[in-house]
Structure 1
Amino acid sequence: MAPGNLSAEVHETHTGLVVLLGERAYKAKKPLVTEFLDFRTAQQREDACAHEIELNSRLAPDSYLGLAHFSGVEGDPPEPVIVMRRYPDTCRLTYLVRHRTPVDAHLAAIAEKLAVFHADANRGDAIDAGGTADAVSARWQDNIDELHHHAVLAPELIDEVWRLAAQFISGRSALFTERIADRRIVDGHADLLTDDIFCMPEGPVLLDCLEFDDRLRYVDGLDDVAFLAMDLEFLGRTDLAEFLLNRYRRAAGDTAPAALADFYIAYRAVVRAKVDCVRVAQGHPEAAADAQRHIDIAIDHLRAGTVRLVMVGGGPGTGKTTLSRALAELIGAQVISTDDVRRELQSEGMISGEVGEPEAGLYSAQNVAAVYDAVLRRARHHLERGVSVILDATWRDERQRERVRRLAGETHVPVVELSCHVPVQDAAARTVSRGPTSSDATPEIAARLAQAEDAWPQAHRIDTSGPLTESVAEAEKAVRESTAALR
């Protein structure tokens, strides 16, 4: 123990007091009642202290030393306190991050520890119930209501957060159901903050799990680690947040879509914004700035995690497939191509016919319908599981485009329509010069299709005759703007 860490100190939280004396810390509960806890009597506080010791012994058994009592005024009942090992402030993760001390090794160890903790954590029907879409939505709604109640943040910001969160939840029931089936819902920590983690030579020490409501600990393991990732970002270290998440996902074998991590980081930022608002109400006006920063983090991640459906259309040789693949790399989307699906269905004997004439043979109305049916089924599967989709097709038929719009509405995602254009002669030349592809188009087919397109006024027109970087940048801009445009 460093000599400078032996002074007597008292620290206040919104629900308790921590007294630091020598090599020990004594944690007491405030005699208060809120919407989420009741510590009015000494017995209630003692029960809460005992429960906290039991829960935290899962991750930090050597840190929680037992239950003791402070003597009060004669006639008053003794005040229960948790006796803890005191750690040097210079080993606190917050201190290390703020002082730019390298912490990659510590974060890797934390990720490994959490992965093991989650693998061994309690599971069961009651715990799984905390991972349903309805339960997740209810927790969000409770926090949103609290933010409105405290009136610290602009109402329109709070409403925007809820709009984006509700949009994600509404269309992702299949994702939440699969997380339960994959046994990802655990009795976790649920309050991982850099202030409560100490990086010791013997390994990381993770303190102070959430104890006042067991149901709030019944969370997705990714949600659990997202709390710490959010706090690292709050300290200005998005790089460390990404490092932690990547190491955890690798250690836990978790292949959840990136959108789910964004969603849970946003949720944890909202939780902390609520705590900041409570602190403002307790007489700490400076906490309003923290609340604003937390809500900004929430909005950023909800927008980044928005699941999108993008149509990239155009005739053969317009570069729509090249654009689709490049755009997918930027926004983390799955490309589904009608050309690829057609080849698959043909090889499986689901469709047949000769190539050569539009609307005949392999491209008969019946075969085209089968291809688009398969494309939209696959798109729905990905969208409902939190993966954005880019649909690469000609999209010359308004009836098929309308089907995509209906799918977007049913899965609660914004739809973006992009139309690729080059001069007809350039498109024809490209069909001759390009290498092997799954497209059957010839220069003659390209010319005929260009004459047969339905008007597409909803599409954002993209000139793909220039450098790919320019057309991709324009497409990405249209996709990003779609998040703010959805109401």
Structure 2
Amino acid sequence: MPVDNAAVSETHIGVVFFAGDRAFKVKKPVSLGFLDFSTRERRERACHEEVRLNRRFAPDVYLGVADVHDPDGDLCEHLVVMRRMPAGRRLATLVAAGAPVRDALRDTARILAAWHARAPRAPEISVHGTRDAVQARWHDSFAQVRPFRGKVIDAAVAAEIETLTDEFLDGRRALFDARIADGRVLDGHGDLLAGDIFCLDDGPRILDCLEFDQALRSLDGLDDAAFLAMDLERLGAAELSEYFLAAYAEFAADPAPSSLRHHYIAYRAVVRAKVACLRHAQGDPDAAAEARAYADVALRHLRAGRVRLVLVGGLPGTGKSSLAGALADRLGCTVLSSDRTRKELAGLAPLDSAAAPYGTGLYSPEWNHRTYRELADRAAALLRLGETVILDASWTSEQQRDLPALVAEREHAHLSPLRCEAPRALTAERIRDRAPGASDADPAIAAAMHAHAAPWPESTSIDTSGALADAVEQALSTLQPHAPDLH
């Protein structure tokens, strides 16, 4: 009897038969190390597990498991029985066609976050979200990609990916510990791709979670969401990628730093690059280009997500505090001000005056050391949690600058010193005309600081004599020359 719309789709681990409004998935009798379907009993268990796990996301799609009998009536195989999805409503297809999908992406983010809110959490799950476990997964991927360096993936690109990954991970143990303590590591989907999401009139259906290995599903919820964000970017929809991840963060009430979002997108891109390299080795003619594209996505996000300690310095009136604040707004990071910290330590409000002759009162060498020590300690705590930090201070002495340099080295953060410069006549005018603020510097203090300022050759000069927006663009081009639009 003929069946309408019959079709077959095959992967390395299974075959799907489409007939009418049903899809029937059979698992191949293979053992690949990361999964074992070598016996009928194993395949049966895997089928039931696939249905159970995927019903968490699409209960009306996964209908059950059917037993297959041979002509003699003996049980010989098992099939996952599914409701057939309309191919034209596949998210990847809609994105490629430029169709409107923002509502579907927001619904997908909501469904994912809702599952994450009630997903299992346990010590045997959390162990896979530690810094060491995440780093081990990265290193496993690096080892598998290394044979393809210089052949499929540019050697310099691969090397920089490894360097930036370890820089981030080496200094962020506290961040991963905090994610576990906050219940962010859970039993998730594990394989969220645009090709496995179908945008139906009554809402999206999310299919094909990673059912064969709980360890690979035990992950940070942000990592789970980052897989789809990465896939959307691969499809040329970077704005949709950002929109989806922002929606997920909203529904999940996830305060993760941007560095962690970039990190997980990069990780998912490297995993796909690794798979593409292996397909290239098997003779796939398109795989090499795919691997390079995924590697480029990974490097772009690792660069953008680099944890930095930014020193914004300069003499009074150069506009360093204005630049520091504007940069923080653009980068979404924290500003710590020496003027405010100094007065906080002294029990004063920011606008309380502590004016004193140069080198005396709250501006004595002892108070300077205490203030800059406190700035360094506060910055270190934030850097460990993946936060880029801007330190707003004059930084006119080498001793002051040595403290953040040591912090950056110890916390595996990239030190970025910026020196604000403007003509002295303009800075004097600014000091004279500015409204009351946290700074106590007057023209006499500014002149004394100028006379005692030590050279700062390792800093990048920022011309702050013009519009603030121009100075911000100069600073951004220094901080993120490769990816200025990924914040």
TM-score, length-scaled by structure 2: 0.93
- Counterpart residue number, 2:33: 35
- Counterpart residue number, 1:94: 92
Secondary structure of 1:288's counterpart equals helix
Give distance in 1, aligned partners of 2:483 and 2:387. 15
Pairwise mapping of residues 385-424 of structure 1 onto structure 2 (< 5 A)?
A: 385-424=385-424
Q: Aligned in 2, Cα 1:66/1:455: closer, same or farther, shift over 3 Å?
A: same
Query: Are 2:356 and 1:356 equivalent residues in the alignment?
Result: yes
- Counterpart residue number, 2:375: 375
Secondary structure of 2:480's counterpart equals helix
- Counterpart residue number, 1:188: 188
- Counterpart residue number, 1:296: 296
- Counterpart residue number, 2:210: 210
Query: Are 2:278 and 1:278 equivalent residues in the alignment?
Result: yes
Residue 71 of structure 1 and its aligned partner are, at CA, apart by 5.5
Give distance in 2, aligned partners of 1:111 and 1:483. 26
- Counterpart residue number, 1:122: 120
Residue 330 of structure 1 and its aligned partner are, at CA, apart by 2.4
Q: Which amino acid aligns with 1:207?
A: L
Uncovered stretches (5+) of structure 1, i.e. residues with no partner: none
- Counterpart residue number, 2:442: 442
- Counterpart residue number, 2:24: 26
- Counterpart residue number, 2:43: 45
Q: Aligned in 2, Cα 1:70/1:153: closer, same or farther, shift over 3 Å?
A: farther
Q: Residues 180-199 of structure 1, C-alpha deviation per residue, up to 9 Å, x if partnerless?
A: 11111110001001111111
How many residues align? The count is 478
Residue 481 of structure 1 and its aligned partner are, at CA, apart by 4.3
- Counterpart residue number, 2:102: 104
Secondary structure of 2:458's counterpart equals coil
- Counterpart residue number, 1:135: 133
**Contact 1:42–1:77 under 8 Å retained in 2:** no
- Counterpart residue number, 2:59: 61
Q: Residues 62-99 of structure 1, C-alpha deviation per residue, up to 9 Å, x if partnerless?
A: 21122224556989972322111101112211122122
Secondary structure of 1:212's counterpart equals coil
Give distance in 2, aligned partners of 1:162 and 1:291. 16
Q: Aligned in 2, Cα 1:226/1:314: closer, same or farther, shift over 3 Å?
A: same
**More displaced 10-residue stretch of structure 1: 418-427 or 65-74:** 65-74
Pairwise mapping of residues 254-269 of structure 1 onto structure 2 (< 5 A)?
A: 254-269=254-269
Provide the alpha-carbon RMSD of the alignment.
2.3
Q: Aligned in 2, Cα 1:225/1:354: closer, same or farther, shift over 3 Å?
A: closer
Give distance in 2, aligned partners of 1:58 and 1:407. 45
Give distance in 2, aligned partners of 1:483 and 1:402. 29
Select 1:11's aligned residue among 6, 9, 12.
Answer: 9
Determine what percentage of the aligned residue pairs are the same residue: 46
- Counterpart residue number, 1:219: 219
The runs of 4+ residues in structure 1 deviating greater than 4 Å are 69-77, 481-484
**Contact 2:353–2:440 under 8 Å retained in 1:** no
Give distance in 1, aligned partners of 2:4 and 2:278. 31
- Counterpart residue number, 1:476: 476
Secondary structure of 2:256's counterpart equals coil
Give distance in 2, aligned partners of 1:113 and 1:25. 23
Residue 264 of structure 1 and its aligned partner are, at CA, apart by 0.7
Pairwise mapping of residues 329-344 of structure 1 onto structure 2 (< 5 A)?
A: 329-344=329-344
Give distance in 1, aligned partners of 2:402 and 2:4. 70
- Counterpart residue number, 2:309: 309
Secondary structure of 1:435's counterpart equals coil
Uncovered stretches (5+) of structure 2, i.e. residues with no partner: none
Secondary structure of 2:395's counterpart equals coil
Secondary structure of 2:346's counterpart equals helix
Q: Aligned in 2, Cα 1:88/1:482: closer, same or farther, shift over 3 Å?
A: closer
Secondary structure of 1:199's counterpart equals strand
Give distance in 2, aligned partners of 1:29 and 1:365. 73
Select 1:82's aligned residue among 80, 83, 105.
Answer: 80
- Counterpart residue number, 1:345: 345
Q: Aligned in 2, Cα 1:23/1:282: closer, same or farther, shift over 3 Å?
A: farther
**Contact 1:309–1:413 under 8 Å retained in 2:** yes
Q: Which amino acid aligns with 2:266?
A: A
- Counterpart residue number, 2:237: 237
Give distance in 2, aligned partners of 1:463 and 1:98. 43
Give distance in 1, aligned partners of 2:354 and 2:460. 34
Q: Residues 31-79 of structure 1, C-alpha deviation per residue, up to 9 Å, x if partnerless?
A: 3232312222333222222221221122122211222245569899723
